[in-house]
C-alpha cells in the first residue's frame, strides 16, 4: 500500500463530495482526511465531517478585509496538517495566486461541467440553455486561471430530451461522487501528477479532457 496521503478538504456547502470521499476510505486507501475547512459556518458538510470524526474549522471570508488575508488564514490552518493534497469540494471562493502557488500541483477541484466548457458558476443552466447533448463534471488541478487547470478526469453524461435542471444536477452530482474519489486515490497512489506539460496518469500525458468516463 502507498504511504499515507494527508488530505485537507475545503468546503462551502452540503458536502456530498466530501461524503463520497469519506465513504471511499478503507484500509487499502492511503488517503487520510486530516481536516475539513469551510468558509461558511452553516455548511452541512461540517456535520458530515464531525460525524466521521474529522477535525473541522470555519474561516469565514466575510471576517477578512481582502482575499489575501482570508487565504493566509486558510493556509495557516491547512499547513498544520502538512497535507500532500488539498481538495476543493464545493468550495466557492476564488483563491489568490499566492494560495495556488503555495499548493501548486497538490490542489484539486471538482467542477460541474465538461471543462473547458462553462467555467465559473451556473453550469447546468448554461448547458441546457445552449442545447448541449452532453454535460458532466471534471476533476482538475487548480491554477490561477479560474477552472482553467489541467483536467485529470471527466465524466460525460448524455442530456436527456427535455431534461430538467434538477434531474441533470442530480445526475452530475452522482457522477462527481464517482470521479472525485477515483482522482484523489490516483493522486494518493502516486499515479496522478501535475507536470509542466499537463496532467499525467501513470507517466502518460492525459488529453485536455483528462481520463474520460462515459456514465
Ligand atoms: N484560483 C482559483 N480558485 C478557485 C478555482 C480555480 O480553478 N482557481 N476553482 C474554484 C471552484 N469554482 C468552480 O469550480 C468556483 C468557485 C467560486 C466561484 C466564484 O465566482 N466565487 C465568488 C463567490 C461566490 C459565492 O460565494 O457564492 C467569489 O469568490 O467572489 C467561481 C468558481 C474554487 N476557487
Ligand atoms: N464552481 C464550483 C462548483 O460549482 N462546485 C460544485 O458545487 C457542488 C458542491 O456540492 P457538495 O457540497 O454537495 O459537494 C458540486 O456539484 C461541485 O461540482
Structural domain containing residue 165:
110-214
| Residues in CB range of 27: below 8 A, 6 or more apart | none
Q: How many domains does the chain have?
A: 2
Alpha helices in the chain, H assignment, sequence order: 16-24, 45-51, 67-79, 97-102, 123-129, 165-188
Cα of 88 vs centre of ligand 2, distance in Å, is: 9
Looking at the fold, whether 92 and 4 belong to one and the same domain comes out as yes
Residue 91 in contact with ligand 1 by CB distance below 6 A? yes
Average pLDDT over residues 37-60: 98
Looking at the fold, whether 142 and 77 belong to one and the same domain comes out as no
The response to whether 95 counts as a known ligand-binding position is yes
* Residues known to be catalytic: 111
pTM above 0.95, yes or no: yes
Residue 146 in contact with ligand 1 by CB distance below 6 A? yes
Cα of 172 vs centre of ligand 1, distance in Å, is: 18
Looking at the fold, whether 80 and 117 belong to one and the same domain comes out as no
Which numbered ligand comes closest to the C-alpha of 136?
2
Looking at the fold, whether 114 and 204 belong to one and the same domain comes out as yes
Looking at the fold, whether 36 and 66 belong to one and the same domain comes out as yes
With a cut of 80, say whether residue 1 has pLDDT above it. no
Looking at the fold, whether 88 and 116 belong to one and the same domain comes out as no
Percentage above 70 pLDDT, the chain: 100
Judge contact between 1 and 188, C-beta under 8 A: no
Looking at the fold, whether 2 and 36 belong to one and the same domain comes out as yes
Residue 75: band (very low, low, confident or very high) from pLDDT cuts 50, 70, 90 = very high
Residues 83-127 have pLDDT tens digits of 999 999 999 999 999 999 999 999 999 999 999 999 999 999 999
Which numbered ligand comes closest to the C-alpha of 123?
2
Core vs surface per residue 31-43: b (16+ CB within 10 A) or e: bebbbbbbbbeeb
Cα of 90 vs centre of ligand 1, distance in Å, is: 9
Domain finish residue from 77, 103, 129:
103
**CATH number of the domain encompassing residue 158:** 3.40.50.170
Looking at the fold, whether 78 and 121 belong to one and the same domain comes out as no
Residues 49-72 have pLDDT tens digits of 999 999 999 999 999 999 999 999
Domain finish residue from 103, 133, 157:
103
Helix 165-188 vs helix 16-24: angle between axes, to the nearest 10 degrees? 40
Average pLDDT over residues 7-16: 98
With a cut of 80, say whether residue 161 has pLDDT above it. yes
Judge contact between 192 and 155, C-beta under 8 A: no
Nearest to 153 by CA among 187, 126, 105: 187
Q: What average pLDDT does the chain have?
A: 97
Residue 120 in contact with ligand 1 by CB distance below 6 A? yes
Average pLDDT over residues 2-29: 97
Looking at the fold, whether 159 and 78 belong to one and the same domain comes out as no
How far is it, in rounded angstroms, from Cα 180 to Cα 165?
Answer: 22
Residues 168-199 have pLDDT tens digits of 999 999 999 999 999 999 999 999 999 999 99
With a cut of 90, say whether residue 2 has pLDDT above it. no
Looking at the fold, whether 46 and 135 belong to one and the same domain comes out as no
With a cut of 80, say whether residue 166 has pLDDT above it. yes
Looking at the fold, whether 161 and 134 belong to one and the same domain comes out as yes
The response to whether 29 counts as a known ligand-binding position is no
Residue 211: band (very low, low, confident or very high) from pLDDT cuts 50, 70, 90 = very high
| Residues in CB range of 29: below 8 A, 6 or more apart | 185, 188
Looking at the fold, whether 6 and 99 belong to one and the same domain comes out as yes
Domain finish residue from 103, 125, 159:
103
Report ipTM for this prediction.
0.97
Amino acid at each position: 500500500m502507498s504511504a499515507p496521503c494527508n488530505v485537507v478538504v475545503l468546503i462551502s456547502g452540503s458536502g456530498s463530495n466530501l461524503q463520497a470521499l469519506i465513504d471511499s476510505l478503507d484500509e487499502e486507501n492511503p488517503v487520510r482526511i486530516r481536516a475539513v475547512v469551510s468558509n461558511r459556518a452553516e455548511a452541512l458538510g461540517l456535520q458530515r465531517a464531525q460525524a466521521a470524526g474529522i477535525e473541522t474549522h470555519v474561516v469565514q471570508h466575510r471576517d477578512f478585509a481582502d482575499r489575501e488575508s482570508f487565504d493566509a488564514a486558510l493556509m495557516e490552518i491547512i499547513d498544520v496538517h502538512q497535507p500532500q493534497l488539498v481538495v476543493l469540494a464545493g468550495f466557492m471562493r476564488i483563491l489568490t495566486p499566492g494560495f495556488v502557488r503555495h499548493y501548486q500541483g497538490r490542489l484539486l477541484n471538482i467542477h460541474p461541467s465538461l471543462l473547458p466548457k462553462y467555467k465559473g458558476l451556473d453550469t447546468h443552466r448554461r448547458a441546457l440553455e445552449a442545447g448541449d447533448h452532453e454535460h458532466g463534471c471534471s476533476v482538475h488541478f487548480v491554477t490561477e486561471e479560474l477552472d482553467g487547470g489541467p483536467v485529470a478526469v471527466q465524466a460525460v453524461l448524455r442530456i436527456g430530451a427535455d431534461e430538467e435542471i434538477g434531474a441533470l444536477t442530480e445526475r452530475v452530482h452522482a457522477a462527481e461522487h464517482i470521479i472525485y474519489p477515483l482522482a484523489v486515490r490516483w493522486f494518493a497512489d502516486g499515479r496522478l501528477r501535475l507536470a509542466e506539460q499537463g496532467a499525467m496518469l501513470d507517466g502518460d500525458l492525459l488529453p485536455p479532457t483528462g481520463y474520460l468516463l462515459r456514465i
